Structure 1
Amino acid sequence: MIPLSIPNLKGNELNYVTKALKEGWVSTGGDFIKRFETDFANYLKVDQSVACQSGTAGLHLALLLSGVKSSHEVIVPSLTFIAAVNPVKYLGAEPVFMDCDDSLTIDVKKLEIFFQKECWITDNGLINKKTNKLIKTIVVVHVFGNMANMEKIMEIAKKYKLKVIEDATEALGTYYTSGKFKGRFAGTIGDFGVYSFNGNKIITTGGGGMLVAKDKEIVEKAKYLSTQAKDDPLYYVHNDIGYNYRMTNIQAAMGVAQLEQLENFIHIKKINYQTYQENIKRIKGLSLLDFKAGTRPNYWFYSLVIDKKAYGIDRDQLLVKLAENGIQTRPIWGLIHEQKPYVNNQAYAIEKAKKYVQFILNIPCSSSLRRVEVLKVTDVLGKLES
């Protein structure tokens, strides 16, 4: 079986984890946590970062620190993994779902139309006409490593006095190569940026995440809240509600080793993406979704676009046939506004997301993927063409 996306653990992972074990620092204290946070911040060219238990924990903290309360609404995409939206509900707030554009990221044109036509600007902030609730924050997801239109999003956010949380859990290493934010990494443009190190991400700690923010005091507050809000750790004084959201030292040891290899991982994934592209373009009815011009993507996931009429079989049939040939693939997520916990939430003009969810299949993209395996995938895809 050629797997979809698995960890590449060929660096210093074993050495660093062994060191952490020998030193006895296996929990939420230890030098590797501090080192990982420092190395990560240096890579992104930001002041500091906070290592978390998961990307979801980071998103929860970001929403909390952006001021979201139970009376508020948060703008979210429908085409994303549900973990990007669930933390809104943790705080008792409500999501409002937006459509995607052809990059699968949030449609900024519809976002602006929604604010212009469906909202009021008041002294208290932006009010949704339909619900009379205050819209506080926008959660932007950089889907599969593709950067959303941050220039326009930040312009809109400034106009309507909204906080921006970048869910960069799939986009570590993606940055702009032109425009206003040239040289800026995904996750470092909005008020908050959140990253994930789940097992299928471009680097992994087995689990875990990282939070960055523009405001240094906010970063310190996030670290405070992530460690049970200890005001006096000796006498256990707590002046706030905290969370058990700190990353372990063993995870951080893995993270340090993985981060050392990140640029090489991206290089390998770029080459494999180009090989896929060269071969897939010869197959009628199939194409690979492009990454945006003006960016250096991290090439995390490769999205195969299937035209059933031209190719002869649909997404689900192709998934089965590839599995029969030892190739693991994955359909895109079910749209969140159609999931049972969210069917009563407002969804604004969702059109393209409904289209893309039907004919995209993610194909093998591990950073350990060999050229011979890429060619096997494209060979099978070619043979299945009707």
Structure 2
Amino acid sequence: MSAPVFRTQVPEGVRDRLPGEAARMRRLSAQLDGVFRAWGYREVATPVFEYLEALAAGAGKWARTEDLYQFFDRKGRTLALRPDMTTPIARLVATRLAGEPLPLRLSYFAPVFRHRDLRAGAASEIWQAGVELVGAPGEVADAEVIALACAAVKAAGLEGFRIGLGHVGIVEGLFQFAGVSPEAEAELKEAMVARDLVAFEHGVIRAGLSGERADLLLGLAHFHGGFAEAQERFGGVGGQVAEALEHVGQVLRLLEALGVSEQVSLDPGLVRSLDYYTGVVFEGYLPGIGAPVMGGGRYDNLLLEFGAPLAATGFALAVDRLLMAQERNGCAAAGEGLDALIACPPGREAEAMAWAARLRAQGLTVEVDLLGRSGEELAAYARARGAARVLTPEVPSIH
């Protein structure tokens, strides 16, 4: 009788990582962590699951949909797998790190979990690397995390990184000026998140907008230009929109001083899926990758949900998309093989093991063949393992 089919399969939305990919992920983690530490960011780790109440405090969209993986503990309390890292870190800052000198610079490399549309092969286990800068309001903090994102992608050996920069106040202010209803606003934002211009245009029509009001909203979706063009097109609305544009302009000037302004372009229609953003928002892109590899922004109200009224900003990098870009650029394969494979003839086991220990002490990557292979069989195994050389106890040691 054959074994049950699910015994040998993994659930939809998750997958195994074989040695080569796991090694590339570990290498990417080290590359990113090196940059984060150089900028003063300290790594933290939070539980994979938490009380639903804690995650719902800042999860916004996730709390209103079925995207959360939920279950119960033995006391009947509702738990959930974390759908992002920002909310758990906000809880951590408000509790365990309360009273530490500000600002706090924190980093992470960890998976998050969301029910996803699997038709396009989207993952439900999503590995992210990112930072949170807590307790620093204003444009300088926004510019720091954007510049750090550029430095992190560069450290991963990737070129052509570009960032689209927007502000929640531009979109919210224009919707308010146009008199968009809450129902129409939700529909339009969903289309903007998906970058679905057709759905956005149909939403504007269904909202009953015309004339200047319709033109302003459609201008968000079709905008191409710099800061001066954005001011000319949207600045006349005044109020929240003008304030948001001024903030974005100051961030752009700081990024120019930091030497990364050429990687950043204005995207006034940018909307992120999570509801906790309050100011600057941004997304990052790489050539040949058909989805954002980075997203983030300012979320000044999230920590208040945990009793800590602190300003905050940060970003998350999509690890699997960075790995895909590294593979396409040919910068992910080095270092996965062995420096040496040591043969282990019968009766020479202790000698082979001792030799391997000496070479490992020199920093080499060494494997001892435990199956007694020799000749072409040993050579074939060495090629499969990517061994630079094959050694036998009879051959003088390499030093």
TM-score relative to the length of structure 2 = 0.25
The structure that is helix-richer by fraction is 2
| Higher relative contact order, chain-length normalized (CA < 8 Å, sep 6+) | 1
Q: Which of 1 and 2 has greater Rg?
A: 2
